[in-house]
Amino acid sequence: MTDPQTTTSTAGMAWLFFALLTVANWGLYGIFLHKGQMAMHVGDGPPDPATRWKAFLFVGIAYLIIAVIGSAIMIKVMGGDFSFTPQGMNWSLIAGAVGAVGAFGVLLAFGAAPKPTVKYVPVVMSIIFAGAPIVNALVSMSMHPPKGGFGTIPWQFYAGILLAAAGGCLVTLFKPS
């Protein structure tokens, strides 16, 4: 039986639209997170050392609304039931945890960046978004090695890894001031 989630559709390119939707939203994530963090400061005194965590709290609330409530609605609308397998729950919780730790890392990077931090938002996000596909490719290959072994991987794949790393490095080193 063919898995409908992994079958390539020749009828449409909705997958590309949704991938680009994610690119746009995650591309805005760091900018808006930093803006929210800076907007948490009240008054003229020194900033509250917890402002970034206040912003992150509201990121969590947004996740609750969109991911938890939205998913429950979609399960119901799609005619699904609310039975879950232990393995599916475990891997999904791990995915949520690494996503949350990654978002946590963004805030830590912003907090550790030289002042003014706003100049380092694109640097931090460029490193993240250039490095994440590399990690994804390497871990995916280790979990699902290519047929015929690693020697069968086309050179263009390795070139893509190097270009992703070089792109992140170039954006970081030569960001406009």
Q: What is the 3-state secondary structure (H, E, C) of 132-163?
A: HHHHHHHHHHHHCCCCCCHHHCCHHHHHHHHH
Burial 86-95 (b: 16+ CB within 10 A, else e): eeeeeeeeee
Q: How far is CA 128 from the centre of its chain?
A: 8
Q: What is the mean pLDDT of residues 99-113?
A: 89
Q: Which two tokens stand for residue 18?
A: 């949704």
Q: What are phi and psi of 31, to 5 degrees?
A: -65, -50
Q: Which residues contact 165 (CB under 8 A, 6 or more apart)?
A: 130, 131, 134
Instruction: Using the predicted structure, report yes or no on whether residue 9 has a pLDDT greater than 90.
Output: no
Residue 175 confidence (pLDDT): 81
Q: How many CA atoms lie within 13 A of 1 on its CB side?
A: 3
pLDDT greater than 50 at residue 2 = no
Higher pLDDT, 111 or 4: 111
Over residues 155-171, the mean pLDDT reads: 91
Q: What is the pLDDT of residues 22-66, one digit of tens each?
A: 889 988 998 899 899 888 888 787 778 888 889 899 999 999 999
CA 102 to chain centre: 7
Separation of alpha carbons 104 and 97, rounded Å: 10
Residue 110: which of 36, 42, 27 has the closest Cα? Answer: 36
DSSP character for 152? G
pLDDT digits (tens, 9 = 90+) for 80-99: 999 999 999 999 999 999 99
Give pTM, 2 decimals. 0.76
Q: What is the mean pLDDT of residues 97-121?
A: 87
Please report the pLDDT score of residue 17 as a whole number.
92
Domain boundaries, the chain: 28-38+49-112, 114-177
Look up residue 115 and give its DSSP letter. Answer: S
HSE, CB side, 13 Å, CA atoms: give it for residue 161: 12
